[in-house]
Structure 1
Amino acid sequence: MDLSRKRVLVVDDHPGMRNSLRRALEVCGIKGAHAVTNAHEAVARLRNMRYDIVLADFDLGPGPDGQQLLEFCRTEQLLAATAVFIMVTAERGYDKVMCAAEFAPDDYLVKPFTEETLRLRLVRALNRSQSLAAARDLKASGRHDQLVVLCDRLSANEPRFALELARMKGDALLALERFAEAREVFERVLQLRPLPWARLGRARAHAGMGEVEQARIGLTELLADAPEFLAAYDALSSLHGQCRNDDDAKAVLKMALEVSPNSVRRHKTIGEIALRNKDLETAERAFGTVVRKNRHAFVRAADDHLTLSRIYMQRDKFAQALETLSDAKRTFAGEAAVKASACVVESLIHSRAKNPREARRALDEALAAAKKSETPLDDAIALELAQACYLQNREHEAAELVRQVVSNNHDDDGVLAEVRNMFARLDREEQGETLIERSVNDAVSINNEGVARAKSGDLEGAIELLEEAARTMPDNAHIVMNAAHSLITHMQLHGVQEDKQERVLAYLQRVRGRNPDHPKYLQVSA
């Protein structure tokens, strides 16, 4: 294979190693390889240029390591299907790299290595990626049905890749919830070799078929044999969670953190489980770790800061809560939605700390920032803002916020339960129930009137009413989808009109972004 035209990105924090890798690549025929010193610089390059080969050291110093870079690249689809990611590691770190389950590199290079070893590994990895490019494309785009068919065809034509294709097929069948077929695929692999990923796949298939105990035994035995296999911890923790066994779910994740302590996702899951069980001490420790470790993350989320500050508030650690919010404001400066959210929580903290003047000041800032924000507040923050308004006797603003949340979610029992919980915390249950009932009835009445007009043949009237409702209740998936459906029906009867078509697409995009599993969206978008 001619490597001279391949674009290569080298990622290593040591100047000497970067130069050594570039010289080795030149011996392989690759000139002008680009080199960066850390994962963040690599991501910036990969967002703006297509590379055929990424050659990354596992240990990249402070910040994300090579494995985290690989996972981010695969998740964000920064690499083409034909591109290869080669991990470079020292002998002592080899097992640590091998523990990666879901996102494995295309190959490994253990230092020291020769130029010929590098060339052979590159050629092997590129040949493999080119042969599997179509399958990888289907996997990345979520076209699981097509992937199952392609894996069968490729297995017949490319028997040397039979194991990887079996893994891809099994995972696709799991995604399609064809659990019995998936189990058969993994069982056939296990008859040949007791591969950990096949044992994991079989356990997931058992879980999907409702065979919880078989899944639990399979995962427990897998971890006993392969304690470095991190995906098995996640699967077992998830299984315990499905069985409402939060203590065991948390314990399994803590075991995983002993193997891989830098996993922010697992720390966060432990924190969420702890919050669910009102274990504030564990939640504080977990989210404190999340915020600290995320300082070098590819993407930082203000929600983690807000959650940690709420935990501090509930534990009456007001100074720590306010400092965490200050950090969020500094980190996400210029984002009005983040400022609004942080000021809402700040107002609640001051109210709890019996500091009414500061609570009012923070509330004024929150309301002003909310008006400036181009994106609406999510329901949880809107309810916290309503609570802060009630605490400062701003009844009209509080009621309007509650009305918006309920109107946008009139058919969502979970959201309505959160609204009731907020009124219970304020000792205003009766007032809350009246407001909820009135808001729900208004939303249902408007929706039913629009549907009735459409059924009676008054499509123009239905469109006018439902689109106005969609403007005033932009996050009400039921109403927005009925507005889209009335426009579609009108075009079916009177021909396609560009403006109506654009509005339908906008409605579909709005609901897909907020509530892609809503039954009405699935019906209209089919």
Structure 2
Amino acid sequence: MRDYSNLSVLIVDPSQSMRASVHNMLTQVNINKVDQAVSAATAIRALTNRPYDVTLCEYDLGTGADGAGQDGQQLLEDLRHHKVISPWAIFVMLTSEGVYSKVVSAAELLPTDYILKPFTVDILSQRIGRALERRAVFLPVYQLIGQGRSADAIAACLANEAAQPRYAVDYARLRAELLCSLERHAEAEQAYAGILKLKPLGWALLGQARAVYALGRLDDAEALLRQLLAENPKFIAAYDLLAQLLRERDRDPEAKQVLEDAVALSPHMVRRLRNLGDVALATGDIATAEKAYKQVVSKAKYSEFRDPADHVNLVRALVHKGDAAGAASVVRDLERSMRSSPGVDVCRSYAASMVKQLSGDADGAAAELAKAMDKLAEATGMSSNLKLGLAHSCLTNRMDEQAAALFDELVASPDSGVDPEQIAALCKEAGCPDLGKRYTMTQDQAVDLAVREAAVLSRSGDPRGAVAVLQDVLHRYPTHTDLWSVSVTTMLHQIAELGWDAELATQCTALMRRMREHNAQHPLLPGLLAQYASLRQKAATNPTPAAAESN
């Protein structure tokens, strides 16, 4: 008999009698390191604190306070999405035969195994043994992945597809997923196509659609997703990707319908409800947005992954509806139910500013918005959607500089998902079309405009204004090499006119260092270095008060 004495197991089940029964079965096969969780939330806390060799999870986790309607599949998706467990963790679902037939074909993130109830100790032992055996087979590849050697892992998968035909499809799937993670999407598409030639598997067709989508072939991706949903209308993850694709193509009404269809099939997934609220709000369907956001706030109330931005979204929907009292109630709920942190404080102040704006308290709205902006620098994990909303509120409260700072941050971040056209549309909606135009310019156009504006300011006797314009465009385009020499020249001009400025001098030396690293033979560099040295010497021998203080 296999020795299981070193295994650690977590049982997740709301039923005390079922937990006791499974615990007893485990004891009979010499598994004594056993912990128990009664809900999704307590399971997440346990798995966050320590890894388990095996998790045995009841599919139907009930609708108690902690579970809030979440089932075992959704728990697994949360654990994988938030990387609480590793991709190779053993997660076994305990379920009835009727439920199994409904979920097995629709689940994208499959558990390691399903065990149908009722089951015996022999069946439980056999399934655990089989899972351990399978993990041992894949362990060398998992170790390569854990070491960050994804390319080597891909090669190992390819070799094992031929050497171990029993696991050929599993190795092919892992190889395709690794190719996607390395953004080798064309190879991933071929890998998924190879799997589909062997067997028409839903997850493989979804993987192929994802690869095609990443390659920018949106028509092909949409066709694959429509095919998948026609063949298997319960493959929920396909709805999510299709809605994302439709939104990217500015087909929000269709995306909303797709998400409504998905929610009708699987009504408890918080991320999907959140997306439905977003697209409903974007299409002006305030009733659907309010309903979706209320469900998000309710279902996430006891979640370990609770996001204060969900309250903000609900407030936005209620403000659009004109329900000031309802929105204020949501703000109070946020204050009561979540401990203060920079992220929570940002969301509370932002939500409060919207309520005050709706109530006609413009000064109060601006004050709350200023608090939100002050805390934003300390907050982490704030979504692009929330920052866009904050920027829009800043514009409507005549806080244009703060809005521009947020826009600059979003445009500069390749992961924000925000494009200049979105910002331009938001600025137009807020009555600030000129601000939006700066984001739809090409980089060279924006730099050229800033250089000309700085020249005008410099000639008119405002060297500080000229430097400020160039510092702003430098912040947005720090790698624009032509901007470096112009900025140094303008900064040195300010120092010559107004006296030594240590902070500005530091910026000059940093830019000249970048110029040298980029082109050691830069024709303007010797003159700029000589001018800098002359001004530095002048400040040392005949210091202004500011220069003397800096020395």
Same structural fold, with TM-score higher than 0.5 when normalized by the shorter chain? yes
Listed one character per residue, the Cα deviations across residues 206-239 of structure 1 (whole Å, up to 9, x for unaligned) are 4455554444343323223222222222233333
In 2: Cα distance, 1:125 partner to 1:337 partner: 40
Listed one character per residue, the Cα deviations across residues 340-361 of structure 1 (whole Å, up to 9, x for unaligned) are 443344234333333x3xx544
In 2: Cα distance, 1:50 partner to 1:128 partner: 18
1:338-353 alignment, distance < 5 Å:
338-353=344-359
Closer, same or farther: CA 248–120 of 1 in aligned 2, 3 Å: same
In 1: Cα distance, 2:245 partner to 2:428 partner: 34
Letter in 2 for 1:16: S
Matched, 1:85 2:86: no
In structure 2, the partner of 1:131 is 137
In 1: Cα distance, 2:256 partner to 2:421 partner: 28
Deviates more, 1:401-410 or 1:300-309: 401-410
Residues 70 and 105, structure 1, Cα contact 8 Å, conserved in 2: yes
In structure 1, the partner of 2:171 is 165
In 2: Cα distance, 1:42 partner to 1:466 partner: 56
Give the superposition deviation at 1:175.
4.0
1:410-489 alignment, distance < 5 Å:
414=419, 418=423, 421=426, 425=430, 440-444=469-473, 451-452=484-485, 465=504
1:176-215 alignment, distance < 5 Å:
176-208=182-214, 212-215=218-221
2:122 maps to which of 93, 116, 132: 116
Letter in 1 for 2:257: A
Residues 383 and 419, structure 1, Cα contact 8 Å, conserved in 2: no
Matched, 1:7 2:15: no
In structure 2, the partner of 1:383 is 391
Matched, 1:28 2:33: no
Give the superposition deviation at 1:486.
5.3
1:318 maps to which of 324, 337, 362: 324
In structure 1, the partner of 2:56 is 55
For the residue of structure 1 that corresponds to 2:10, the secondary structure is: strand
Residues 80 and 86, structure 2, Cα contact 8 Å, conserved in 1: no
Give the superposition deviation at 1:467.
7.0
Deviates more, 1:137-146 or 1:123-132: 137-146
For the residue of structure 1 that corresponds to 2:301, the secondary structure is: helix
Give the superposition deviation at 1:445.
6.0
Matched, 1:156 2:130: no
Residues 391 and 406, structure 2, Cα contact 8 Å, conserved in 1: yes
Letter in 2 for 1:302: P
Closer, same or farther: CA 374–70 of 1 in aligned 2, 3 Å: same
Residues 402 and 419, structure 1, Cα contact 8 Å, conserved in 2: no
Closer, same or farther: CA 50–58 of 1 in aligned 2, 3 Å: same
Give the superposition deviation at 1:88.
0.6
Listed one character per residue, the Cα deviations across residues 321-357 of structure 1 (whole Å, up to 9, x for unaligned) are 1111211222223224433443344234333333x3x
Residues 50 and 79, structure 1, Cα contact 8 Å, conserved in 2: yes
For the residue of structure 2 that corresponds to 1:286, the secondary structure is: helix
In 2: Cα distance, 1:278 partner to 1:51 partner: 46
Letter in 2 for 1:294: A
Listed one character per residue, the Cα deviations across residues 158-186 of structure 1 (whole Å, up to 9, x for unaligned) are 32211111111223334444444333323
Matched, 1:295 2:301: yes
RMSD: 4.1
For the residue of structure 1 that corresponds to 2:131, the secondary structure is: helix
In structure 2, the partner of 1:520 is none
Residues 369 and 394, structure 2, Cα contact 8 Å, conserved in 1: no
Larger Rg, first or second structure (1 or 2): 2
Letter in 2 for 1:65: D
For the residue of structure 2 that corresponds to 1:301, the secondary structure is: coil
In structure 2, the partner of 1:239 is 245
In 2: Cα distance, 1:113 partner to 1:153 partner: 37
Residues 344 and 388, structure 1, Cα contact 8 Å, conserved in 2: no
In 2: Cα distance, 1:179 partner to 1:224 partner: 25
In structure 2, the partner of 1:333 is 339
Unaligned stretches of 5+ residues in structure 2: 439-449, 454-464, 490-499, 519-551
For the residue of structure 1 that corresponds to 2:55, the secondary structure is: strand
Deviates more, 1:222-231 or 1:21-30: 222-231
Give the superposition deviation at 1:151.
0.9
In structure 1, the partner of 2:275 is 269
Listed one character per residue, the Cα deviations across residues 479-508 of structure 1 (whole Å, up to 9, x for unaligned) are xxx88x959969xxxxxxxxxxxxxxxxxx
Matched, 1:251 2:257: yes
In structure 2, the partner of 1:477 is none
Closer, same or farther: CA 416–332 of 1 in aligned 2, 3 Å: farther
Residues 53 and 83, structure 1, Cα contact 8 Å, conserved in 2: yes
- The percentage of counterpart residues that share the same residue type is 31
Residues 74 and 269, structure 2, Cα contact 8 Å, conserved in 1: no
In structure 1, the partner of 2:538 is none
Give the superposition deviation at 1:38.
1.6
Give the superposition deviation at 1:11.
1.1
Closer, same or farther: CA 94–362 of 1 in aligned 2, 3 Å: same
Give the superposition deviation at 1:383.
3.2
Unaligned stretches of 5+ residues in structure 1: 391-397, 470-481, 491-526
Residues 82 and 130, structure 1, Cα contact 8 Å, conserved in 2: no
Give the superposition deviation at 1:246.
2.3
Letter in 1 for 2:49: N
Matched, 1:37 2:66: no
Give the superposition deviation at 1:382.
5.3
Listed one character per residue, the Cα deviations across residues 450-497 of structure 1 (whole Å, up to 9, x for unaligned) are 9449999xxxx999659769xxxxxxxxxxxx88x959969xxxxxxx
Closer, same or farther: CA 24–487 of 1 in aligned 2, 3 Å: farther
Letter in 2 for 1:182: A
Residues 427 and 435, structure 2, Cα contact 8 Å, conserved in 1: no
Closer, same or farther: CA 126–100 of 1 in aligned 2, 3 Å: farther
1:56-75 alignment, distance < 5 Å:
56-61=57-62, 62=64, 63=67, 64-75=70-81
In 2: Cα distance, 1:349 partner to 1:343 partner: 10
Letter in 2 for 1:56: C
Residues 395 and 403, structure 2, Cα contact 8 Å, conserved in 1: no
Give the superposition deviation at 1:126.
0.8
Give the superposition deviation at 1:55.
0.9
Residues 239 and 259, structure 2, Cα contact 8 Å, conserved in 1: yes
For the residue of structure 1 that corresponds to 2:11, the secondary structure is: strand
Listed one character per residue, the Cα deviations across residues 105-159 of structure 1 (whole Å, up to 9, x for unaligned) are 1111111001111111000001111221343455678764333212112223332
In 2: Cα distance, 1:185 partner to 1:407 partner: 39
Give the superposition deviation at 1:247.
2.5
In 1: Cα distance, 2:302 partner to 2:126 partner: 34
